[in-house]
Structure 1
Amino acid sequence: MHLPTEHPTSIHTSERPAAPSDQFNHLQGLFEKSFKAARVGVWECSLPDETLTWTDTVFEFFDLPPQTPLARADIVALYTPESREKLTVARNAAIEEGNGFTLDAEIITAKGNSRWIRITAIVERSEGRSVRIFGMKQDITAEKAMVDNIRRLAEIDALTGLASRTKFESIFNEICTSPTHMQYGLLLLDLDGFKAINDTLGHQSGDECLREAGNRLTKALPDAVLISRIGGDEFAVIHSCESAKHLQDLGNRIVQSLEWFWAPSSLTRLKISASVGGAVIKKGAVSNDVFALADRALYAAKAGGKNRFEIVKRDNFSMSAA
């Protein structure tokens, strides 16, 4: 099987037609232009001697001059450690089993540029042995940046700049299922008096108040694992937590920091405070159960007069006021 070429000098093949037709030249030219436009290059590696052959575009990906002598060990060293490990696992499995693979990998080029490439690999076998591995490499740096940006936007609450509910749920579930022995606490809170701000001063003032609440939370708990706005005037905090007493201290700190007068003008001054509920996240906890406990504590804080912290103990669901 002969590899497609991007340029007559890009790759050496054993034979070429002596006098290719005009139609063949036309199709080959279209093929080359399409590959270049798509930022796709072709590669192969013979086995077991590990001899590499690249088309010119692949050299461009790695910021190497075309026809630079290639040593596979030197090229593999240009992959980031995480991508290098994934490539090694996928490649070894493909060679052993005769299957192909697709992998997105990050490289640091010969000029120090970070770039993402999508590797597509096919294994050719003869008499039960893998004799070469070949395929395509495509520059997906721009695609990766766009996807990462979309993901970041999905993980950030646009109004406050805090983590979004989506991000909160991801981290919360991860912590609940983590095998680590480190213990965490979950704190849920609502702003007391927030509805009056929206009703009296309008939603723009309400938005400014929510941003201020987010700033106060961030300053009060600088070591929090995550501070998130999970909806409306509802916030969630995940924090390392050594004990119920530690969680209570964290809850009290939130209550104190979120008690203030919202005064957008000299004529208006409305009291803001927070009701906070907490639960300890123990190892192996079920996320829904922990959230329900913290939510129950939050309800107790509101029922107990607001502007306070409550914690619900898992063992007997008893409530203790801060």
Structure 2
Amino acid sequence: MKSQKYTRFGQDNEDWTYWKQTDECIVFGHWIIETDAGKPPRMYCDDVSMQALGVSPEESPEDCYSIWQENIFSSHIAEMQRHVRSMIAGERGDITYPWKSPAGSTKYLRSIGVRDMAYQKGIRLLGTFQDVTGALFSERMSRNSYLKSDFLLQILADTFEAVHVIQFDKGTIMSVRSVLPLFWNEYELDITRYLQLLPRFLPPEDCKIIKKCIAERKVIDKNGNCVTRYSWDFKSDALKKDAWYNIQISLDPNVSKDDMIIAVRDISELEQSKHTVKKLRHISEIDGLTKVFNRIAIEKKINEHISAQPDENSLLLLLDLDNFKQINDRFGHIEGDNLLIDTAEKLEHLCRNTDKVGRLGGDEFIIFLRSVQEKDIDSLVSRILARVRKEYHESGASVEVTASIGIARCPQDGTSFAELYHCADIALYDAKRRGKNQYSQYRQVSQ
């Protein structure tokens, strides 16, 4: 054993000596933490402690304290706080915890300390650091599993605002991280009280899932299936209006007692982004005037349906308004636009929820009707023709707007939008040629 002078960042301090011991490559050094009223906490380290923490001698005591505190694994913050409180109360503290060095490596440090009761300006804690990483990693595999558990909790705490470990053997909750206001600063809360607090934040159906998982010590999804991990999103106004959260439940696979981990994060911004993207996507698919699908969208949706249901008997109707140009010429383009809007509304009203209506441009519309029987075609199309018909009167003269429709059948006439559109266009030309205000089917025209 050799006595040496204690050094605070290279400055000799005559009234402090420490013992440096080397035993099987385990070396320890000393530290002092001081907290005075109105001043930031300070941490003084000797050369051995600085090496253990990866701290440069040029760092100030204030920065040294910040570096040490900020890099404690989230999974051990609560335990470290209890450790500090016990030393402040006059007890001897002894703790081993994982720590991330500024260089990015992970170390396990053992710290033993006491309070200096002679210090009158505030609180002074003093003790030793020991880098025990090598010793811990050389232990049996069962111990290594606990090390893996520490890393798992640290990853979760870096992502989630609240991480709780259900410790079934103790009947308590270990709060690894608790940023969300609901998730209390009380440590080692008993499981019963934990379940009583959940309804303040979670909807009733979500509370039931968690209660069932804890009661059976299994991860059970909403369908009653046992899984290794279960995640779902929920909305809660408990903390802020229209807030969305993601919750994950899993068993800790790295420890034999199978602690359960519950992690919660605020995904309101993500949900808002999804809503914005969904809204923009919807806008990009909609015809600006009539609010039905535009050409690109209706083509995409028809092709998607045919790919999913290639054998379903469907109809593609290509509808063109008769005498539309006269409405624009006599009554103006505003009235022409109103006619297009009115026509689109009528078509959507006539169609089922499973059908699609789109505008290709001008006065040309697409109607895609799913699961249509041959015997129903005439009544369906006749109803559309009758509903679209409209008369305009001005100064004793009248203009009658009707529609001509070309029909292509899927899969008989084609198995893609392009093929069906080509056939329906030929049939539409035939309907126009035969006097308008009627429909033609492609197979009849081509025969």
Range class of TM-score, shorter chain: 0.5 to 0.7
Q: CA deviation at 1:152?
A: 3.8
- Paired residue for 2:390? 260
- Paired residue for 2:79? 14
- Paired residue for 2:423? 293
- Paired residue for 2:346? 216
TM-score, normalization: structure 2?
A: 0.47
**Contact 1:187/1:277, CA 8 A, preserved across alignment:** yes
Once the two structures are superposed, residues 158-215 of structure 1 have per-residue CA deviations (whole angstroms, 9 ceiling, x without a partner) of: 3223344454334323321234875332211111221232234332121011122223
Query: How many angstroms apart in 1 are the aligned matches of 2:174 and 2:357?
Result: 49
* Cα gap change, 1:150 to 1:210, in 2 (>3 Å): same
- Paired residue for 1:31? none
- Paired residue for 1:57? 180
* Cα gap change, 1:229 to 1:286, in 2 (>3 Å): closer
The structure whose residues are more often strand, as a share, is 2
Query: How many angstroms apart in 2 are the aligned matches of 1:123 and 1:300?
Result: 68
Q: CA deviation at 1:272?
A: 1.4
Query: How many angstroms apart in 2 are the aligned matches of 1:47 and 1:228?
Result: 54
Residue segments in structure 1 that go unaligned for 5+ positions in a row: 5-10, 21-39, 95-102
- Paired residue for 2:410? 281
* Cα gap change, 1:65 to 1:208, in 2 (>3 Å): farther
Who wins on radius of gyration, i.e. which is larger? Answer: 2
Query: How many angstroms apart in 2 are the aligned matches of 1:110 and 1:285?
Result: 51
Once the two structures are superposed, residues 249-305 of structure 1 have per-residue CA deviations (whole angstroms, 9 ceiling, x without a partner) of: 322222233233234x54663221211011223499333323332233223223333
SS for the counterpart of 1:214 is helix
Identity of aligned residues (%): 23
Query: How many angstroms apart in 2 are the aligned matches of 1:234 and 1:225?
Result: 17
- Paired residue for 2:161? 42
Q: CA deviation at 1:57?
A: 2.2
Query: How many angstroms apart in 2 are the aligned matches of 1:166 and 1:120?
Result: 39
**Contact 2:163/2:178, CA 8 A, preserved across alignment:** no
Larger relative contact order (Cα-Cα within 8 Å, sequence gap ≥ 6): 1
Query: How many angstroms apart in 2 are the aligned matches of 1:183 and 1:235?
Result: 20
Query: How many angstroms apart in 2 are the aligned matches of 1:124 and 1:85?
Result: 17
Q: Does residue 138 of structure 1 match 2:267? A: yes
Mapping of residues 115-194 of structure 1, within 5 Å: 115-117=243-245, 136-140=265-269, 141-179=271-309, 183-194=313-324
TM-score, normalization: structure 1?
A: 0.61
Mapping of residues 232-247 of structure 1, within 5 Å: 232-247=362-377
Give the CA RMSD over aligned residues: 5.1
**Contact 1:228/1:236, CA 8 A, preserved across alignment:** yes
Query: How many angstroms apart in 1 are the aligned matches of 2:445 and 2:167?
Result: 68
Query: How many angstroms apart in 1 are the aligned matches of 2:326 and 2:73?
Result: 74
**Contact 2:286/2:293, CA 8 A, preserved across alignment:** yes
Residue segments in structure 2 that go unaligned for 5+ positions in a row: 1-71, 85-122, 125-158, 210-219
Query: How many angstroms apart in 2 are the aligned matches of 1:275 and 1:203?
Result: 21
Q: Does residue 229 of structure 1 match 2:359? A: yes
- Paired residue for 1:2? 73
Aligned length: 275
Q: 1:309 aligns with which of 439, 442, 445?
A: 439
**Contact 1:160/1:211, CA 8 A, preserved across alignment:** yes
**Contact 2:358/2:367, CA 8 A, preserved across alignment:** yes
**Contact 1:226/1:237, CA 8 A, preserved across alignment:** yes
* Cα gap change, 1:243 to 1:138, in 2 (>3 Å): closer
